Amino acid sequence: MARIVMKFGGTSVGDIDRIKNVAQRVKREVDSGNEVAVVVSAMSGVTNQLVDWCKQIAPLHDAREYDTVVATGEQVTIGLLSIALQEMGVSARSWCGWQVPIRTDGVHGKARIMAIDTDDMAVRMADGQVAVVAGFQGIGPDNRISTLGRGGSDTSAVALAAALQADRCDIYTDVDGVYTTDPRIVAKARKLDKITYEEMLELASVGAKVLQTRSVEMAMKHRVRVQVLSSFVDAPGTLVCDEDEIVEKELVSGIAYSRDEAKITLVRVPDQPGVAASIFGPLAEAAINVDMIVQNVSDDGRSTDLTFTVGKADLDRARKVIEEARGKLSFERLAADPNVVKVSVIGVGMRSHAGIAQKMFQTLASEGINIQVISTSEIKISVLIDEKYTELALRALHAAYDLDAA
Amino acid sequence: MARIVMKFGGTSVGDIDRIKNVAQRVKREVDSGNEVAVVVSAMSGVTNQLVDWCKQIAPLHDAREYDTVVATGEQVTIGLLSIALQEMGVSARSWCGWQVPIRTDGVHGKARIMAIDTDDMAVRMADGQVAVVAGFQGIGPDNRISTLGRGGSDTSAVALAAALQADRCDIYTDVDGVYTTDPRIVAKARKLDKITYEEMLELASVGAKVLQTRSVEMAMKHRVRVQVLSSFVDAPGTLVCDEDEIVEKELVSGIAYSRDEAKITLVRVPDQPGVAASIFGPLAEAAINVDMIVQNVSDDGRSTDLTFTVGKADLDRARKVIEEARGKLSFERLAADPNVVKVSVIGVGMRSHAGIAQKMFQTLASEGINIQVISTSEIKISVLIDEKYTELALRALHAAYDLDAA
């Protein structure tokens, strides 16, 4: 017998038939003797309708009232799913965020979960009652509903699993697990059985959007074992867990990519202390995230080129900020290139193995792909290349690291 | 300056434009210097969709989960209306039933309001903030949402007005007030400026469905002045108030009718003690309401005829209950007639004036209308007549009591 938290997103509960289907899956876990809590999102489309109504009345609306309106989406689902479970003979009850309560910091529209009181719920679960919990919402110190922001239901589920000390948190989604790379691009991409929190974080943050980054961080912090699996296909998914639990560690777990970056090069920046600060200070003030940064070695000892990446959506704003700061920082010209892609090789194994980076550079070179920027972390090597080589690079690297499915 | 509770039903908040329109009306009261609380229903159609989803999953669903689902309708409206008010520069905040809190007895689906704690709300209202409150819902002793049942938003508004000691409770609806009789039948029907609680109760319970009976009872108990007025036309409505406030009392305020009754006659029932109990006992046990009852004077000293009315929808069940009880009660035969209408003349003035009943009987007689059953109360005379005379009787009585508009 285990204690399990199951989470179903909006498409999984998109209509009455799908809600019944979810109830069947929950029933199966209950029939296996498990204690179950289910976290659900709003039926797909419902949240959009609610958001649209708010916008129709006022484009800039009170976040507290917005939260009151959109939180109803999950409230409808918990009631309907509870009814569906009861109809199948499974004891169940719904829990709104304020009823549990799931206490947040009260920052409306993007609240963080501070504490979850599961005493009452745990007693009922031990008695065989399924707890059906509204995702994406909690109650703030102001006694008002606060939502966690889009995608927050994953975080709700992981936080609830942590509070309940659950054996596993199963996140049902429209993909059947985490892949070595994007299967739409690399046909030989393989589903991973297990992956570490750290690798999952790198994969998620560089573009493999399966789980909300915040939910993975929370899972890692509280050591919650998270399984990503399909709500439509009946098969095991990918377990996101502690490194200790993975016996056969792969050197490289996956190849990720992100097309959301744009490259900016400032040509002939003075090579003197304080220059980087004078450039990145104004960008930070404008809330523009800078990712990769490379400063070339100065060839004449007086000036250098500075290259960095920003989000593609921020490119125009970043340009403007830099041009406006031109009085304080001098450079010959600004060159911008949105046609780039960041490709990353990820794996906890590279901590203890040399040669991983070298293989990446060699592979790309042998395909004639020029590397524009390189950045590395403990478990990741990222390169910026011309966007047109995305597919070629992914396929070549996937093969080079022996990730191809048999 | 006054403290006012305004209530808007589902059609008044049926879409975004109508919600903005409601916001305009609220703003006008605020601009006049009044403290305002607004009680709203779900957008029309929304509740039906939610109820339908519950029924699709299980025709007999858990009332607690049903309440959780349908209460979201009002929650959406309070958020949207608050946003609309803020957009017009009016300070406003939404209140779910559990936030106020509106405490109920916890009977799900048809809860009764036990207490409303308005301390926090009153302070905010005094500071100029409009309280936008979800009608139809409260929180029970089980810490779960309980709804008051269909039409319960009127009751929410009156109860809130009582708790806030409001000067007036304005119920906005799709009619512009209370009429002397049904204007669809009698073209000369007049809108009443004022009417007493007692008269309103009689009018409502016999068929003039403007306000929920329960809300009028509550208004009478707590002496809440209730105004019924149109949310689409800009004109004063009808004030439901204490008798003392009505200076020029009319002898008769209105003529009501109800087609919902059916007549049952038990022919040749023994004229002995306990007979009535043996008939009406089984009906009461079957939850069948009996309205008018007449027992004729026995002509032979041994048997009599007993006539009474039940709801038309209950007629078949009532027949069955009586036939099944035939072992204990003897009668020659049962005659049933669903083609009847109850017409009532209502007015507090008749307490102190004789001849009101006589005028009713004379008027109907002069039109050749036979009276089948008569019943009276302190402020009402009701007669049961053949349904085909409904329009004729209403018009004749309306003229006879000088109610016709000039």
Q: Which pLDDT score is estimated for A378?
A: 87
- Give pLDDT tens digits for B245-296: 987 777 899 999 999 999 999 988 888 777 888 888 889 988 899 989 888 7
Q: Which pLDDT score is estimated for A27?
A: 98
The answer to whether B213 and B226 are in contact (CB under 8 A) is no
Integer Cα distance of A133 and A85 in angstroms: 13
Domains within chain A, CATH numbers bracketed: 3-174 (3.40.1160.10), 263-337 (3.30.70.260), 340-400 (3.30.2130.10)
Q: Do the Cβ atoms of B66 and A79 come within 8 Å?
A: yes
Give the position of tokens 């209140």. Answer: B95
Integer Cα distance of A84 and A335 in angstroms: 59
Among partner residues A53, A67, A79, which is closest to B65 by beta-carbon distance? A79
- Of A167, A138, A170, the residue nearest A157 (C-alpha): A170
Partners of A96 on chain B (C-beta within 8 Å) are 68, 145
Integer Cα distance of A336 and B196 in angstroms: 78
Tokens of B95: 């209140």
- Of A263, A269, A264, A282, the residue nearest A331 (C-alpha): A269
Partners of A99 on chain B (C-beta within 8 Å) are 143-144
Tokens of B276: 């009535």
Among partner residues B16, B58, B96, which is closest to A87 by beta-carbon distance? B58
Q: Which amino acid is at A355?
A: G
pLDDT at B205 over 70: no
Q: Do the Cβ atoms of A84 and B58 come within 8 Å?
A: yes
Q: Do the Cβ atoms of B20 and A69 come within 8 Å?
A: no
Mutate to test the interface with A, among B83, B86, B132 (most CBs of A within 10 A): B83
Which residue does chain A place closest to B73, by CA atoms? A72
Alpha-carbon A179 to chain mean position: 14
Give the position of tokens 């996956």. Answer: A254
Q: Do the Cβ atoms of B78 and A66 come within 8 Å?
A: no
Percent residues over pLDDT 90 in chain B: 73
> Which H or E run includes B217?
helix B213-222
Partners of A87 on chain B (C-beta within 8 Å) are 57-58, 61
Integer Cα distance of B273 and B284 in angstroms: 19
Q: Which pLDDT score is estimated for B271?
A: 81
Q: Which pLDDT score is estimated for B208?
A: 63
The answer to whether B307 and B276 are in contact (CB under 8 A) is no
Among partner residues A83, A93, A99, which is closest to B54 by beta-carbon distance? A83
Neighbouring C-beta atoms of residue B112, cutoff 10 Å: 17
Q: Which amino acid is at B399?
A: A
> For chain B, what percentages of helix, strand and coil (3-state, to nearest 5) are there?
35, 25, 35
Among partner residues A66, A78, A96, which is closest to B79 by beta-carbon distance? A66
Phi, psi of B75 (to 5 degrees): -60, -40
Partners of A83 on chain B (C-beta within 8 Å) are 54, 57-58, 61-62, 65-66, 69
Chain B: give the shortest CA distance to residue A104, in Å: 16
Q: Do the Cβ atoms of B143 and A68 come within 8 Å?
A: no
Q: Which pLDDT score is estimated for A389?
A: 96
Chain A residues within 8 angstroms (CB to CB) of chain B = 16, 19-20, 50, 53-54, 56-58, 61-62, 64-69, 71-72, 75-76, 78-80, 82-84, 86-87, 93-94, 96, 98-99, 143-145
Partners of B40 on chain A (C-beta within 8 Å) are none
Q: Which pLDDT score is estimated for B248?
A: 74
The answer to whether A322 and A282 are in contact (CB under 8 A) is yes
Chain B residues within 8 angstroms (CB to CB) of chain A = 16, 19-20, 50, 53-54, 56-58, 61-62, 64-69, 71-72, 75-76, 78-80, 82-84, 86-87, 93-94, 96, 98-99, 143-145
- Separation in Å, CA B359 to CA B248, B252, B402: 21, 11, 12
Between B324 and B23, the higher pLDDT residue: B23
The answer to whether B177 and B233 are in contact (CB under 8 A) is no
Among partner residues B68, B79, B82, which is closest to A79 by beta-carbon distance? B68
Tokens of B27: 């703003």
The answer to whether B71 and B109 are in contact (CB under 8 A) is no
Tokens of B397: 């009585």
Q: Which pLDDT score is estimated for A208?
A: 64
Which residue does chain A place closest to B47, by CA atoms? A76
Mutate to test the interface with A, among B57, B74, B145 (most CBs of A within 10 A): B57
Using omega within 30 degrees of 0 as the cis cutoff, is the peptide bond preceding A101 cis? yes
Partners of B62 on chain A (C-beta within 8 Å) are 82-83, 86
Q: Which pLDDT score is estimated for A132?
A: 98
Instruction: Report how many helices (DSSP H) and strands (DSSP E) chain A contains, helices first.
Output: 12, 20
Weakest-pLDDT range from B223-237, B321-335, B379-393: B321-335
- Start-to-end C-alpha separation, chain A: 35
pLDDT at B30 over 80: yes
Q: Would you call B361 exposed, middle or buried from its count of C-beta atoms within 10 A (0-12, 13-18, 19+)?
A: middle
Q: Tell me the pLDDT band of B353, cut-offs 50, 70 and 90.
A: confident
pLDDT at B151 over 70: no
Among partner residues B69, B79, B94, which is closest to A80 by beta-carbon distance? B69
Q: Do the Cβ atoms of B83 and A61 come within 8 Å?
A: yes
Residues 6+ apart with CB under 8 A from B122: B164
Chain B: give the shortest CA distance to residue A73, in Å: 8
Q: Do the Cβ atoms of B61 and A86 come within 8 Å?
A: yes
Which residue does chain B place closest to A20, by CA atoms? B57
Q: Do the Cβ atoms of B144 and A87 come within 8 Å?
A: no
Average pLDDT, chain B: 92
- Of A372, A363, A358, A355, the residue nearest A392 (C-alpha): A363
The answer to whether A201 and A140 are in contact (CB under 8 A) is no
Partners of B16 on chain A (C-beta within 8 Å) are 53, 56-57
pLDDT at B301 over 80: no
Partners of B137 on chain A (C-beta within 8 Å) are none
> Which H or E run includes A119?
helix A119-126
Q: Helix or strand or coil: residue B17?
A: helix
Residues B212-232: what's their mean pLDDT? 92
Q: Do the Cβ atoms of A75 and B72 come within 8 Å?
A: yes
Per-10-residue mean pLDDT, chain A, length 406: 95 95 97 97 94 94 96 98 98 98 94 95 96 97 90 92 97 90 92 93 74 90 95 90 85 91 91 82 90 79 87 94 84 93 92 86 95 90 95 96 87
Partners of A69 on chain B (C-beta within 8 Å) are 75-76, 79-80, 83
Residues B347-352: what's their mean pLDDT? 84
The answer to whether A29 and A37 are in contact (CB under 8 A) is no
- Of A168, A237, A223, A232, the residue nearest A29 (C-alpha): A168
Mutate to test the interface with A, among B27, B49, B80 (most CBs of A within 10 A): B80
Question: In b/e form, how buried is each residue of B35-59, taking b as 16+ CB within 10 angstroms?
Answer: bbbbbbbbbbebbeebbebbebbbe
Q: How many residues does chain A have?
A: 406
A405 backbone φψ class: left, alpha, beta (φ>0; ψ -120 to 50): beta
Q: Do the Cβ atoms of A16 and B96 come within 8 Å?
A: no
Mutate to test the interface with A, among B26, B40, B53 (most CBs of A within 10 A): B53
Chain A: give the shortest CA distance to residue B48, in Å: 13
The answer to whether B130 and B40 are in contact (CB under 8 A) is no
Integer Cα distance of B267 and B276 in angstroms: 13
Q: Which pLDDT score is estimated for B168?
A: 97
Chain B: give the shortest CA distance to residue A151, in Å: 21
Residues B313-334: what's their mean pLDDT? 89
Using omega within 30 degrees of 0 as the cis cutoff, is the peptide bond preceding B183 cis? no
Residues B157-182: what's their mean pLDDT? 94
Partners of B57 on chain A (C-beta within 8 Å) are 16, 19-20, 80, 83-84, 87
Which residue does chain B place closest to A54, by CA atoms? B80
Q: Tell me the pLDDT band of B354, cut-offs 50, 70 and 90.
A: confident
Partners of A80 on chain B (C-beta within 8 Å) are 53-54, 57, 65, 69
Q: Helix or strand or coil: residue B403?
A: coil
Beta bridge partners of B336: B264
Q: Helix or strand or coil: residue B219?
A: helix
- Give pLDDT tens digits for B48-83: 999 999 999 999 899 999 999 999 999 999 999 999
Mutate to test the interface with A, among B48, B65, B88 (most CBs of A within 10 A): B65
Q: Do the Cβ atoms of B79 and A65 come within 8 Å?
A: yes
Among partner residues A56, A69, A80, which is closest to B76 by beta-carbon distance? A69
- Give pLDDT tens digits for B83-129: 999 999 999 999 999 999 999 999 999 899 999 999 999 999 999 99
The answer to whether B111 and B136 are in contact (CB under 8 A) is no
Q: Helix or strand or coil: residue A354?
A: coil
Q: How many CB pairs under 8 A join A and B?
A: 111
Q: Do the Cβ atoms of A57 and B78 come within 8 Å?
A: no
Q: Which pLDDT score is estimated for A327?
A: 77
Q: Which pLDDT score is estimated for B327?
A: 77
Sheet (strand B333-337) strand order: B290-295, B303-311, B261-270, B333-337
